[in-house]
Amino acid sequence: MIPSVSERRQYYANPAIRKRLADFLGGEPPDHTTAVFFSPGTEWESGYRSPHPFTDWAEWLDLGAELNRSLWDTQSLVAHLDIEYVNFDFPAHPYLAAERIFACQQPVVGAVQSLLAECGIAPLHLLTGRGHHFVWRMDRSTPAFARLRGLGWMANSLRRLYAYHRGPVGETVPPDFGAAFSGLGLVMEYLAQRVKVLSAPECSLPVELAAIEAGGGRRGREVIAVDITEYADPLSTRVIRMPFSVYLKPWQQRYLLGDPTLAALEPIFLIPLQGISLREGLTIRRDSQAVQELAARVSTAIPDASEGMESLIQTYRQSALARFHTWFHSQDHDAESDWPATYDQTPFAMLPPCAGHILTVPNDLLLRPGCVERVVRVLLSLGWHPRHIAGLIRSKYEHDHSWGRQWTDSDPATRADFYARVFTGAFVTGVDDLVDFNCQSAREEGLCFVENCRENLAPFRTSLIHRKHYERLGCRPFNRLFLSTEHS
């Protein structure tokens, strides 16, 4: 049962809770935080896309809100890695079988901790409703920040967005922060790949780089997501759940879980796993009094890991993924004025019907990572350069497909680049072996959209494997992109 507003108000009145919230914000609100804004949620909506100035802080504490801080910070670049369990068929499962779903994540969590420790990074480790968050920061004055700024590649549209998109009291993202956040996204992509490679052989569930559908079992289609998708969006739009906040996501998803399930749920609070075991954390997080006692003896300040990040950045720069990133950015999208003669002329008849359907009905299919992955794989198999694949996806995002507020304060070019880069990069570096790039897997994943389809994904998979083997990825000039699937 969800705590009442009065119970949540009393909980937030505890001085230890207030202190831990302030620690995570980088200072006491409303005047001394380094976080630029916060986003409060209720039991009816998440509020992620509703930034508030800290002059509103006390009001939302009185309302017992779920609390999220901006990833955007005035003094530091904040790094965040999200590990979570996702069930596409039984969304209530993580709340009803918490011990199981957290046990399933342990190989992934262990890989994160091991890889970060190798670099000397000791993150703040948070236990959420469905998984784990790892958070650390780099001060703006450090060499690590400067290196990330140098790595960053930003679309011109993202630069323009940062110039006009303002925070709740008129702030704009400084150019060095925008560039460093883009560079951080490249390094976090590398870290996520390493986590997947290290943990997948030990994990009982598929490990994916986003919430990507997998084949189902008796508990439905379930995966462990190493979710780095926040790096697909502008720094100014993303938030992180706050430790010692109430956790209201199940109630925000009542349309999925149903009232009978919600009535049976115990309260959930976000807590740090500091000085306690996972088993202890799973017990403490459901007990308001135990959570308040924990708050009196732990810290939630985001640790400075600038030196450790230099080591991680250096490892990334020597990697095959970094070389791929250089190749990825060696081409650009076609100019928007040219789309009627280029991307808009893509003949879907040459594509398997499932990929053609995704591109024909992009809202909301082209927002789903598993669907974007299908499009990327198919077009790679036809010789498209991944940057032009991103250009085609961007064109679908920017055309009128009744997107509503989907792209308000977001950048379609950056989102398209992110997905094309991540999915191609995983294949190029061997992290993705295309084991599920076939029709049977598509049906099991729920990503087969055409009844009585006579097409077969096997030739596209074979073509893609051959292209990689013979170093012919992205080898066709654009005016030959629409030719047959025969090897160049």
Q: Is the pLDDT of residue 481 over 50?
A: no
Query: Tell me, what's the pLDDT at 123?
Result: 98
Report pLDDT for 479: 44
pLDDT digits (tens, 9 = 90+) for 317-346: 999 999 999 999 999 999 999 999 999 999
- Tell me the average pLDDT across 148-159: 96
Tokens of 436: 């599920």
Q: Is the pLDDT of residue 233 over 50?
A: yes
pLDDT of residue 483: 39
* Contact (CB, 8 A) for 224 and 210: no
Name the H helices within 26-142.
57-62, 93-96, 98-118
Q: Is the pTM of this model over 0.85?
A: yes
Instruction: Find tokens 């937030």 and name the residue.
Output: 12
| pLDDT the model gives residue 482 | 43
Q: Count other Cβ atoms within 10 Å, centred on residue 166.
A: 14
**For all residues of the chain together, what is the average pLDDT?**
95
Query: 175-199 and 412-428 are packed helices; what angle lies between their axes, rounded to 10 degrees?
Result: 30
Task: State how far the Cα of 464 lies from the Cα of 475, in Å rounded to an integer.
Answer: 12
Task: For residue range 19-52, list pLDDT tens digits in order.
Answer: 999 999 999 999 999 999 999 999 999 998 899 9
What angle in degrees, to the nearest 10, is found between the helix axes of 412-428 and 320-328? Answer: 140
Rounded to an integer, the average pLDDT of 225-247 is 97
Place of tokens 């323009």: 160
| Alpha-carbon gap, residue 253 to 91, rounded angstroms | 9
pLDDT band at 472 (very low <50, low <70, confident <90, very high): very high
Residues 475-482 have a mean pLDDT of 53
Chain CA centroid to CA 350, Å: 31
Q: Answer for the pair 108, 86: CB distance below 8 angstroms, yes or no.
A: no
> Whole-angstrom distance between the N-terminal and C-terminal Cα of the chain?
61
Q: How does 51-87 read in b/e, with b if 16+ C-beta sit within 10 Å? A: bbbbebbeebbeebbbbbbbbbbeebbbbbbbbbbbb
pLDDT tens profile 78-120: 999 999 999 999 999 999 999 999 999 999 999 999 999 999 9
Q: What is the average per-residue pLDDT within 212-237?
A: 96
Residue 120 in tokens: 């000397």
pLDDT in tens, 370-391: 999 999 999 999 999 999 999 9
User: What is residue 1's predicted lDDT score, i.e. its pLDDT?
Assistant: 79
Q: Inform me whether the pLDDT recorded for 12 exceeds 70.
A: yes
Instruction: Characterize the bridge pairing of strands 38-41 and 131-139.
Output: unpaired
- pLDDT level of residue 476 (50, 70, 90 thresholds): low
In the predicted structure, residue 292 carries a pLDDT above the cut 60: yes
pLDDT band of 453, cuts 50, 70, 90: confident
Split at pLDDT 50, 70, 90, the class of 469 is very high
pLDDT number for residue 290: 98
